[in-house]
Structure 1
């Protein structure tokens, strides 16, 4: 029995020690300090805070005060609990801390009500601490971005070098076989654009803009928006240049007319077509305008039809006048016999019968302006020599004052008329023969293309000062 009592005492002692150690483990340690929250973080209070079973007001007050102090969000925090009602006091800089303290107190064990008297301080208008923090953050981000900027610069230089190398290789291999200069320029720019897009894709990938890089390389999004809105006209002219190069409605040196503008084709690039007008002026027309407009090509078919009109009197035998005019055109060296010249009656005017002459010339060799002038001069001179009248429109002349008239004798009148007629016939015959044989008024009748070509070689190239990175100057 004494042994049993001794063992019982030992077990009681050991149990007390274990209970003390367990109680010591249950003692809460010092709470850890809480870091301040960012502006974009949400703040939530715990659902419940247990102090001890049937906690006393003093224990609740002490527990809440220590929690508010350890957060370092409050200035001089204080909690007083009376009959389960918690009175919070102190101050803070943010409304979310004010709300969090009230939620914390409501979630505490044995707290039946909360009176939140914590004051929220208004920030000072001269407080630039937030701005300084933003600048510091921006500086850190910039410093972290320096390696990416350097790598992007290296990739950009390699892209430019790759574009130069691609253009050089394409000129020596693929593009060398293409005869059309416009098509060669379009293909060259297309190859260089592919290299440029690949370089931009790598730069965006290095910068961390993976989604934007995928959008650019896919040909939609930003690139499509830029082409569709900002560079709509440029893209339209570029596509029109491709279609023009495939259809070939004209060649270099052709005389064309578009939208009332006439000139010789000097150059066709991806933006427009350069013409030199017959007056020697450089005119550049957008390719989109040329593709959508009516094109008159005066050089594709070397045969050009000329026409002009001459009026003869009603007393003239029209068949004879037609035959004379046709013979004049057939005898002219610049007029073609096939198709044959034609003289048609166009109109019965008030005082004349209007004849219109049609003939064909070789437009690649002769100037239609000069030949037209020579034919009209020669037809007029021949009609006057043959006595074919060419009256003008009838006019009525009114003399308000009297006109003095001297009567002549019959012999004097006949002699005067005969002398005047012979003199007029002699002068007219001499003049007509001179006009028929002489062609110095129109010069050599040659086409203006030779003169325009010489002027274009002497003129300044409108694009000689432009620096195009994607293509060389077309020559």
Structure 2
């Protein structure tokens, strides 16, 4: 084995040397063939770097930015004062032909002196522009002032026109509302013209859009307040009631009208208390106005014993009602049988009262008193709570007069007080004075009112 190895080793050594020589020749040939490419790439990167550097120097705020281009990749370095300058540098580099990618290593300057210098420069630039635009700004302000004056003049003319047509007597708030509407519309037109002169029409769109969004948010937030205000305006225009009139709202709240404010309707109850109702509730509810018609009907029921004559009772009662102060002759009193059972016959009587001259409650009380007295004088018996099993003589049935009882007039007529009730006048006047600055109703009731 050893003699054989002695002959193999020289052969292997010669083979290795031959392979090494071939590999060296191949490497030299490859290097020789690829030698010109790096030189050409370097020249293109250098030219691109110079061109890009020149463009950066020509751009404001990018003079301190340096650029290096390697294999189509632009590396930006340096310091700028504004974030917008940093983005602009990257945009300029990306637009350079031959640049495939940009590595932006530009940083913002943190030096106080440079930041102050930039702020001063910006402030001076804006001040210079403002001074240059000062004549145009004065013209725009003059346009707004003229629009405000024209709006006030047109508003007054509109109010005077409404007053000449007697609309204000029907609705005093309508004239003021129209005057303010015309005034604000004219002012809005002047502002739009002024902004157009200043070249700020885009700002108008932004402001109007923002106002719409804000208005929508406020509308949801203050929905109830806005609803009451709109209802107050509509009530002042439609005027379903006037101050001093007696109302029943939603079949629950009753009182006399003291004032109609933009947000609430103020009533004075029969007890003299203030009742404040939201305008939206009043606008949507059923409102019963007892005072819209000067004439109002009263009614009351009179029970009599089943043994009495209905015709006789009704004639006596109608005579007594006609003689009561405050009862109108046209339309005259009327009656009907309201009920009949084993214990009593119930007759219901009706009469009309002029609320401008008489109080309904007082006239009703006097009419009941007159009917009772007249029936008592005629010997008409009321219903008996105790059923008798035997008939008694007439002398024993009639009860003797009670000592101290006031005897009614022989003719059965009543001369009681039926004048208009003025108990709440002081309360109404106080409430009207308290809401005088915001009352949407006129100070006095219109024709045909009880106040």
* Common fold: TM-score over 0.5: yes
Work out the CA distance in 2 between the residues paired with 1:356 and 1:472: 39
Q: How does 1:13-162 map to 2 (within 5 A)?
A: 56=40, 59-70=43-54, 71=56, 77-79=67-69, 91=77, 104=96, 106=98, 120=105, 161-162=149-150
Alignment match, 1:433: 408
Work out the CA distance in 1 between the residues paired with 2:120 and 2:231: 46
* Shift in Å, 1:456: 3.5
Work out the CA distance in 1 between the residues paired with 2:384 and 2:124: 92
Structure 1 residues 240, 370: closer, same or farther in 2, change over 3 A? Answer: closer
Work out the CA distance in 2 between the residues paired with 1:384 and 1:132: 110
Residue 346 of structure 2 is aligned to residue 354 of structure 1: yes
Structure 1 residues 128, 240: closer, same or farther in 2, change over 3 A? Answer: farther
Q: How does 1:103-252 map to 2 (within 5 A)?
A: 104=96, 106=98, 120=105, 161-166=149-154, 168=156, 175-178=163-166, 180-183=168-171, 185-208=173-196, 209-210=200-201, 231=226, 234-235=229-230, 237-242=232-237, 244=238
8 Å contact from structure 2 (residues 327, 351) kept in 1:
yes
Aligned counterpart in structure 1 of residue 433 of structure 2, from 461, 464, 471: 461
Structure 1 residues 391, 154: closer, same or farther in 2, change over 3 A? Answer: farther
Work out the CA distance in 1 between the residues paired with 2:376 and 2:120: 98
8 Å contact from structure 1 (residues 351, 394) kept in 2:
no
Alignment match, 1:110: none
The CA RMSD over aligned residues, in Å, is 5.6
* Shift in Å, 1:172: 5.7
What is the DSSP-based 3-state SS (H/G/I as helix, E as strand, rest coil) of the residue aligned with 2:433? coil
Between 1 and 2, higher relative CO (CA 8 Å, sep ≥ 6) is seen in 2
Structure 1 residues 432, 277: closer, same or farther in 2, change over 3 A? Answer: same
Residue 334 of structure 2 is aligned to residue 342 of structure 1: yes
User: Could you tell which deviates more after superposition, 123-132 or 311-320?
Assistant: 123-132
Work out the CA distance in 2 between the residues paired with 1:436 and 1:374: 15
Aligned counterpart in structure 1 of residue 420 of structure 2, from 447, 450, 468: 447
Work out the CA distance in 2 between the residues paired with 1:157 and 1:89: 57
* Shift in Å, 1:370: 0.9
Residue 351 of structure 2 is aligned to residue 366 of structure 1: no
Work out the CA distance in 1 between the residues paired with 2:244 and 2:66: 93
Q: Which runs of 5+ in 2 are unaligned?
A: 1-38, 80-85, 445-451
Residue 300 of structure 2 is aligned to residue 328 of structure 1: no
Alignment match, 2:8: none
* Shift in Å, 1:445: 0.9
Aligned counterpart in structure 2 of residue 259 of structure 1, from 245, 250, 258: 250
Deviations 1:385-422 (A, max 9, x none): 54444347679xxxxxxxxxxxxxxxxxxxxx99x969
Structure 1 residues 435, 221: closer, same or farther in 2, change over 3 A? Answer: farther
